[in-house]
């Protein structure tokens, strides 16, 4: 278990290092202004779907159905072709009606800004097709317990964006955002190519070739598998994407605030997503195929044991990350972003937003692993209902907190909704099973480590403050 988690974590860390280099360059070259807001909005919709697809929603529905199917090749190819056709038509619609879709995701922009952003929205949206292909191939690799390709290949997108920034850094800002948009597509193509190589090495290409060859004759035999998959998939998409949809809603509401607010939320959320991906998503992706197989074979004891170990491992890391992030929020933002066009006031605003986001790190992360039990037992609709309630809470508090606290209020609303998400997920998982986990002796070690961490970090914070004075 831990080997798979560390493989995922190291790959994500590798990618996020390049991601932060990209963010540092982007903040320095574009700053936090209307141009950075335009690109962030343009990339927001495909990036939302990238996170939803790549961080679990597809695999959580596909793997249980794939494992149960007697026609794995035909089932895989049928699902792939149907979703690919849908996404291609969707992307063409975004191209034709780019102004309409841009208005939907940035309602607060004026007409001139909407016009400037619309072409970029259309370009960036084709990344969604590429990332779906990547996610489909990644799910097949997960079934073979191969995680490295997917974990490391995400860096290719960041490398493409870094290259675009370096090439265009001396150009007008309205030109730079076009370079970034085309780099998104190039990064997606590179990710597809790397996954195709891995699929061939593991001989999964034979499975897909057979599926294409036999699809006409045996497609009808997979109807029940397809029905179960699509029924679960749409529910799973909502159920596993609360953090991503919350961030998307934050950006939409921030378009009504002062210029730069979208950028503050974006840069803060990028830092928040780092420990969430490095620890929670890496853990959930690694353990889900095994939990699915255990539960399929009615081996509840081993499935529960794996979940229990993951809970304590993940709790420790997330609590440490939360305390560290809040205590050193200004220092982290200053270190990563404050240079060039990104000034001190931008640091203060982004750090405030970051602290509010980090309050939701533990509940968002732990909800990830408890929801796996629901997905593995085909309870995607229950998970979707829980996620829907959480999103409703997020919208309610966002509307209440946006006026007094602006961008920070939106981030706080997201954290409140995360707490609701975790509580409802634990209820669905089973409160008795949850309390059996937390009665474990590890809780005392975690409490001691938590207290020690707070004292050490406050001491370091004091030393830094004295030094900076």
Instruction: Tell me whether residue 53 is in a domain.
Output: yes
Q: Which two tokens stand for residue 318?
A: 């997330």
Instruction: Tell me whether residue 448 is in a domain.
Output: no
Contact assessment for residue 368 and residue 422, using Cβ atoms and an 8 Å cutoff: no
- In sequence order, the 6+-apart residues with CB closer than 8 A to the CB of 451 are none
Q: Which two tokens stand for residue 236?
A: 């799973």
Q: Which two tokens stand for residue 24?
A: 């540092």
Res 142: pLDDT: 83
Q: How many domains does the chain have?
A: 1
Closest listed residue to residue 191, CA positions, set 123, 122, 271, 135: 135
Res 57: pLDDT: 66
User: What is the tens place of the pLDDT at every residue in 440-458?
Assistant: 666 656 666 666 666 676 6
Cα angle: 333, vertex 24, 281; to 5 degrees: 75
Instruction: Tell me whether residue 423 is in a domain.
Output: yes
Res 225: pLDDT: 77
Instruction: Tell me whether residue 90 is in a domain.
Output: yes
* Residue 183: other Cβ atoms inside 10 A: 22
Q: Which structural domain, as residue segments, surrounds residue 366? A: 2-438
* Residue 82: other Cβ atoms inside 10 A: 13
Instruction: Tell me whether residue 460 is in a domain.
Output: no
Instruction: Tell me whether residue 453 is in a domain.
Output: no
* Residue 1: other Cβ atoms inside 10 A: 15
User: What is the tens place of the pLDDT at every residue in 286-314?
Assistant: 788 788 778 877 888 888 888 888 888 88
Instruction: Tell me whether residue 451 is in a domain.
Output: no
Cα angle: 184, vertex 185, 187; to 5 degrees: 65
Res 218: pLDDT: 73
Res 100: pLDDT: 86
Res 1: pLDDT: 55
Res 469: pLDDT: 47
Res 455: pLDDT: 61
Please give the full DSSP string across 46-97, using - where no structure is assigned.
HHHHHHHIIIIIHHHHHHHHHHH-S-HHHHHHHHHHHHHHHHHHHHHHHHHT
Res 62: pLDDT: 80
Residues of the chain short of pLDDT 70, as ranges, are 1-6, 32-33, 48, 50-57, 236-244, 440-455, 457-459, 461-469
Res 239: pLDDT: 64
Instruction: Tell me whether residue 464 is in a domain.
Output: no
């Amino acid at each position: 278990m831990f080997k798979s988690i560390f493989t995922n974590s190291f790959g994500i860390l590798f990618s996020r290092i390049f991601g932060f280099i990209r963010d540092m360059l982007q903040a320095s070259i574009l700053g936090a202004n209307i141009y950075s807001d335009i690109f962030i909005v343009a990339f927001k919709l495909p990036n939302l779907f990238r996170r939803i697809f790549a961080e679990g929603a597809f695999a959580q529905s596909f793997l249980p159905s794939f494992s149960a199917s007697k026609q794995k090749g035909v089932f895989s190819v049928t699902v792939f072709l149907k979703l690919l056709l849908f996404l291609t038509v969707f992307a063409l619609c975004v191209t034709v009606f780019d102004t309409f879709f841009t208005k939907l995701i940035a309602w607060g922009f004026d007409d001139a800004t909407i016009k400037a952003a619309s072409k970029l929205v259309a370009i960036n949206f084709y990344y969604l097709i590429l990332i779906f292909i990547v996610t489909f191939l990644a799910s097949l690799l997960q079934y073979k317990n191969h995680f490295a390709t997917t974990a490391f290949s995400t860096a290719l997108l960041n490398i493409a964006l870094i290259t675009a920034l370096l090439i265009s850094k001396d150009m007008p800002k309205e030109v730079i955002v076009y370079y970034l948009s085309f780099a998104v597509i190039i990064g997606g193509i590179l990710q597809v190519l790397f996954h195709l190589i891995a699929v061939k090495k593991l001989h999964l290409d034979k499975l897909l070739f057979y599926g294409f060859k036999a699809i006409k004759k045996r497609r009808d035999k997979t109807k029940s598998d397809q029905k179960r998959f699509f029924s679960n998939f749409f529910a799973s998409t909502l159920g596993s994407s609360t953090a991503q949809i919350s961030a998307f809603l934050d950006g939409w509401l921030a378009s009504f605030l002062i210029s730069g607010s979208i950028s503050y939320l974006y840069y803060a959320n990028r830092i928040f997503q780092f420990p969430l991906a490095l620890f929670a998503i890496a853990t959930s992706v690694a353990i889900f195929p095994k939990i699915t197989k255990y539960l399929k074979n009615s081996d509840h004891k081993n499935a529960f044991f794996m979940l229990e170990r993951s809970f304590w491992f993940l709790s420790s890391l997330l609590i440490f990350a939360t305390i560290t992030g809040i205590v050193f929020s200004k220092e982290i933002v200053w270190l990563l972003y404050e240079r060039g066009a990104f000034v001190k006031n931008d640091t203060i605003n982004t750090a405030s937003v970051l602290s509010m986001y980090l309050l939701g790190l533990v509940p968002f992360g732990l909800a990830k692993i408890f929801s796996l039990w629901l997905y593995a037992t085909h309870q995607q609709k229950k998970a979707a209902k829980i996620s829907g309630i959480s999103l409703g809470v997020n919208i309610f508090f966002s509307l209440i907190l946006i006026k007094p606290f602006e961008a920070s209020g939106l981030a706080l609303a997201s954290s409140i909704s995360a707490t609701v998400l975790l509580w409802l997920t634990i209820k669905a998982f089973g409160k008795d099973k949850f309390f059996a986990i937390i009665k474990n002796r590890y809780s005392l070690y975690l409490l001691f480590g938590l207290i020690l961490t707070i004292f050490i970090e406050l001491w370091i914070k004091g030393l830094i403050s004295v030094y900076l004075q």
